[in-house]
Structure 1
Amino acid sequence: MPKAVFMDIYHDLRENIEDGTYGYQSFLPSEAELTQLFNCSRSSIRRALGMLAQDGYVQAQQGKGVRVIRNPTITNPAGYNGLETFNELARRRGFVGGTQVLVCEELTAGDALAAQTGFEVGSRLAHILRARTADGRAISTDESYYLASEVPGLTPEIVKKSVYEYLEGVLGIKIATSRRTITIEAATEADERNIDLDGFNAVGVMRSHTFDADGIMIEYTESRQRPGFFSYNETAVRPVR
């Protein structure tokens, strides 16, 4: 699988912004400096900067450079941060996260599942269902389907630890983008079994279609979260007129 250089640059710069190496309202090094720093082409730098801008980390200033607009101390303190994993979220928010694997199986997509997930009918899919805890409290479930031809070898042990760590660290897959739909929905019987709702009758639901650096959809996930824990931050960009 070809190496997506711009994704490595994106992750490195994002981490540098999160840890304060490039502080809020400061300017990143110039494109020429970044090209030299990462030993890559300008096109790779520009793709990485474009993704950082889409995710609300930076904003280009004509004639000045690229300014950091994300303040880690106040921006999105509770919710998801881009394509953040549950383990990354736990580390950032400072809670002890736990994962219980309820389902780990392989199946074939029929008409209904294909319509739900966006995978083609007949696709072999790895199906997993996880219950999540924060400091011992059940706060969410994640039900995911992965394209088995692209994500082989999933086991309950891998799923409990981190699927993305396996995808990126073992399979070498570069996770690039995720298209998300977020709704508030009535709690189901399954939600009542698996989530500490504390009297709430609704949950936050995020449905995600996730693509690798080659534009192949490899994952569909439905996350259902307890109100009070769930939040999501998005940066909206107004088109140039």
Structure 2
Amino acid sequence: MTTTNKYMNIFQELANEIEKGVYEPHSLLPSEHDLCDRFNTSRETIRKALTLLSQNGFIQKMQGKGSLVLDVSKMNFPVSGLVSFKELQQSLGRNITTTVHKLELIETSSWFSSKLDSPPDSLVWEIVRSRNIQGERVILDKDWILQERVQSLTEEVCKDSIYAYLEQELGLAISYAKKEITVEPATKEDRALLDLDGYSHIVLVKNFVHLEDTTLFQYTESRHRLDKFRFVDFARRRK
């Protein structure tokens, strides 16, 4: 086994243990010496694995104290990236299922027209899906997509990955999105389709999604239960 494979495997094993609660939040990982003994490897390899754990939000290295385990019950959702939920699911590695509650072709109202910058008589696909993560419905995704760009949609596609269908089957080039993030009171629909666990508000992420030719073709509202998610980005200071 190469050194790279060794520290990656150690990282993955420790990350899995943290996620499963073997090491509880705010506890300390075993010392570097103990980890060297456990994995029968060098301190340099252990330090590389610990660095990966730190970079991925599993631990916080504390000078003179060791590696403090962080609370990973919240899942990371990138702010700046534009990824499908299926792609996100693969990176999270969690048990996630999708239920399609609604798939209809409707005429746009003035409200839709303003969101999608389209004529009032345009047709749009309205899709409502809930995401069940580890046995709880904690995300409600509501999408409106211009039918002019997407002629047909099926429940099977919506349950799997709309973006995979648009890019791989229809050949559309999805390019960029403008995002807005707010905290809003939960609606009647939220309470019906989500397991809110007593929370009265949700995190609302609005996406205005454009194709490569700059066409605004999709408006999305992704409604998240407050306690389960953190939204992350990487920022570098410009000098």
Alignment partner of 1:221 is 2:204: no
Q: Of the candidates 45, 56, 60, which is equivalent to residue 73 of structure 1?
A: 56
Whole-Å separation in 1 of the counterparts to 2:203 and 2:90: 22
Aligned to 1:88: 87
Whole-Å separation in 2 of the counterparts to 1:85 and 1:105: 21
Aligned to 1:207: 206
Q: How does 1:125-204 map to 2 (within 5 A)?
A: 125-204=124-203
Q: How does 1:10-21 map to 2 (within 5 A)?
A: none
What value does the CA root-mean-square deviation take over the aligned residues? 2.3
Aligned to 2:50: none
Aligned to 1:107: 106
Matched to 2:136, the amino acid is R
Whole-Å separation in 1 of the counterparts to 2:154 and 2:112: 21
Deviation at 1:72, TM superposition (A): 6.2
Aligned to 2:67: none
TM-score if structure 2 supplies the norm length?
A: 0.65
Q: How many residues align?
A: 171
- Alignment check: 8 A CA contact 2:75 2:229 kept: no
Aligned to 1:11: none
The runs of at least 4 consecutive aligned structure 1 residues that moved more than 4 Å come to 235-240
Whole-Å separation in 2 of the counterparts to 1:98 and 1:221: 19
Deviation at 1:135, TM superposition (A): 1.8
- Alignment check: 8 A CA contact 1:132 1:138 kept: yes
Deviation at 1:90, TM superposition (A): 1.6
Matched to 1:73, the amino acid is N
Corresponding residue SS for 1:88: helix
- Alignment check: 8 A CA contact 2:101 2:128 kept: yes
Matched to 1:188, the amino acid is T
- The runs of 5 or more residues in structure 1 that have no matched partner are 1-19, 21-70
Deviation at 1:162, TM superposition (A): 0.7
Structure with the larger strand share? 2
Matched to 1:79, the amino acid is F
Percent identity, aligned pairs only, is 29
Matched to 1:225, the amino acid is H
- The runs of 5 or more residues in structure 2 that have no matched partner are 1-7, 9-53, 59-73
* Closer, same or farther: CA 239–130 of 1 in aligned 2, 3 Å: same
Whole-Å separation in 2 of the counterparts to 1:115 and 1:124: 14
Whole-Å separation in 2 of the counterparts to 1:93 and 1:79: 9
Whole-Å separation in 2 of the counterparts to 1:144 and 1:173: 17
Aligned to 1:28: none
Corresponding residue SS for 2:228: coil
- Alignment check: 8 A CA contact 2:126 2:142 kept: yes
Whole-Å separation in 1 of the counterparts to 2:170 and 2:90: 24
Deviation at 1:236, TM superposition (A): 4.9
* The structure with more radius of gyration: 2
Matched to 2:78, the amino acid is Y
Aligned to 2:122: 123
Whole-Å separation in 2 of the counterparts to 1:163 and 1:87: 9
